[in-house]
Structure 1
């Protein structure tokens, strides 16, 4: 709820600031999860661990520089998840190294540690996933803003099939191992980089 809501809010807020009234007219410039969560996508998260939120509708023609600003709006969603992941790691690191949890019960401290660990891992994963240039992911919208229109015109007829391809890559283990698996392994160097930054900032 936190990760997806902040992600979609980042799209809506930036589009609104760039001059597109569409997200605000649809009530998406908010952190309220109820405005962003998709019922079926949320149910799938609970059942199979993979789902989605309602996409923020954006009209790039309302932007002063449509291609550039559309790329920025698209990339800010994944970046918001990267920032959330970093914040989660900072909170966990500080709590572990300052004795904040010493007076807590073991159950409470374990629950917080598990939540924060899942929180930063999930957000780093969402950052990587959403940068993959496959529709309906943000990476595709970024690519759409960068590639010449004549090339995009050749790609668009295949957009309707890419969602099914993405689902096959997620749910068929052999395909996952040779496609998304190596991509998601990028969470490891990102986590290590964050650890180095955090230790430099907080030399406990």
Structure 2
């Protein structure tokens, strides 16, 4: 039986918590802007993690996965949305659906910028402090986690965000058939997770993640890299 990697949990969990919070905040804020105050009335238009916390999906499952070396996976409490309140149903549904991944894209870019700033500011150091090396590692995790959340949530499997966009892209005569998938969407997702079939996302995650981190990695002080 493998050992529990507490360090990996301490590095990754805060990043995941921030990323999931920003994702749900994006949904709630855009829903309010589109005329739906459901999430607002439930206190979800906030960056306070407690408002979006799902103990199983945000804490317990990720801790077990990270600590045991499994692929990182987590979720927060879904933001309640009432599409009937949108000023324009199609526009509102699409904007609210992509708002979460838009926040993750913003975070991924922000982590990449911070990564470059940290790499540039420590480039000439003979031996960067261990604290900076740890911070550098967290920034890398931040880029990878947020790119992963973007690609995962854009999968056209109900109830993921990508399924809402796909619904509106389909011809009208196919929408009803596609909507019936929502009855089985969670089952499909768990099958993909438990069988490891979602591993096909890993190479797709690495391409944009490496692109974002490229400028920092090209000038990084080797002393900042883990294990060096």
- Please say whether Structure 1 and Structure 2 have the same fold, judged by a TM-score greater than 0.5: yes
Q: In structure 2, how many angstroms separate the alpha carbons of the residues matched to 1:132 and 1:148?
A: 19
Q: In structure 2, how many angstroms separate the alpha carbons of the residues matched to 1:101 and 1:73?
A: 45
- The offset of 1:101, in angstroms, is 9.7
Match of 2:139 in 1: 116
1:97 pairs with 2:120 = yes
Q: In structure 1, how many angstroms separate the alpha carbons of the residues matched to 2:101 and 2:169?
A: 17
Q: In structure 2, how many angstroms separate the alpha carbons of the residues matched to 1:103 and 1:33?
A: 38
Asked whether the 8 Å contact 1:132–1:140 carries over to 2, the reply is yes
Select 2:199's aligned residue among 176, 181, 184: 181
Residues 89-110 of structure 1, C-alpha deviations (whole Å, 9 max, x = no match) = 1101111112289498632122
Match of 2:6 in 1: none
Match of 1:5 in 2: 21
Deviates more, 1:159-168 or 1:18-27: 159-168
Partner-residue secondary structure (3-state), 1:186 = helix
Scaled by the length of structure 2, what TM-score is found?
0.77
Unpaired segments of 5 or more residues in structure 1? 200-204
Match of 1:202 in 2: none
Structure-2 change in CA distance of 1:103 and 1:6 (3 Å): farther
Which stretches of structure 1, 4 residues or longer, exceed 6 Å deviation after superposition?
A: none
Measured on the aligned residues, the alpha-carbon RMSD in Å equals 2.4
Deviates more, 1:152-161 or 1:25-34: 152-161
1:19 pairs with 2:42 = no
Q: In structure 1, how many angstroms separate the alpha carbons of the residues matched to 2:102 and 2:160?
A: 13
- The offset of 1:146, in angstroms, is 3.1
